[in-house]
Amino acid sequence: MTVRTIITAENSLLRERSKKVTRFTPAVRQLVADMFETLEAAGGVGLAAPQIGVLQRVFIVSIPADYDEDGNEISPQEDYVLVNPEIIRREGEEEMVEGCLSVPGYRGLVRRATSVVIKGQDEDGRAVRYSGDALLAQAFQHEYDHLDGVLYLDRLEDRDKIWVIEDESDDEEGDLE
Ligand code: NI
């Protein structure tokens, strides 16, 4: 596996519409493996293929494990792979704090559905379908947008609802990518 370079907002590739994956070759599995390694190195919740310059409809989401005060695991890490995804249901609406690995150093307020159902394929072409709430729903919507060349900057509630964060490592919310 290889850690790939994440491109940032000034790169016009992030504004392109990505293409459907039609052949599930080993190259697709390699892409997904590289994306997980890249996401882990960058420390985010999700990554879409166009963020590493690959204009294919592929994204991953990795929700970190949760621990109680004593350090016991409440919920394990959850990893999702979506190829050719389609959001088939959206419910609720809420303002959420959001960031993006392609827009480093910023957070903004966007309005997202609080619950979504998404379907698509995994890296082997098998059909998958997931329901997500809260952070998972937000991540599905954010990463899906990348496949259409949309950044969260386009969805800001207001032009001034974006701010600079001093130190990425100190930030506890909105660590969505
Ligand atoms: Ni992003």
Q: Report the separation in Å between the CA atom of 66 and the middle of ligand 1, taken as the mean of its atom positions.
A: 22
Q: Report the separation in Å between the CA atom of 5 and the middle of ligand 1, taken as the mean of its atom positions.
A: 14
Catalytically active residues are 143
The total number of structural domains in the chain stands at 1
Assess if residue 94 is contained within a domain: yes
In this prediction, the residues of the chain whose per-residue pLDDT falls under 50 are none
The pLDDT score that the predictor gives to residue 44 is 92
The pLDDT score that the predictor gives to residue 176 is 62
**Residue 150 burial class via C-beta count within 10 angstroms: exposed 0-12, middle 13-18, buried 19 and up:** middle
Residues 152, 158, 161: CA angle, nearest 5 degrees: 75
CATH number at residue 141: 3.90.45.10
DSSP code, position 11: S
The pLDDT score that the predictor gives to residue 169 is 57
Q: Report the separation in Å between the CA atom of 151 and the middle of ligand 1, taken as the mean of its atom positions.
A: 7
Assess if residue 7 is contained within a domain: no
The pLDDT score that the predictor gives to residue 157 is 84
| pLDDT tens-digit series, residues 106-155 | 999 999 999 999 999 999 999 999 999 999 999 999 999 999 999 999 99
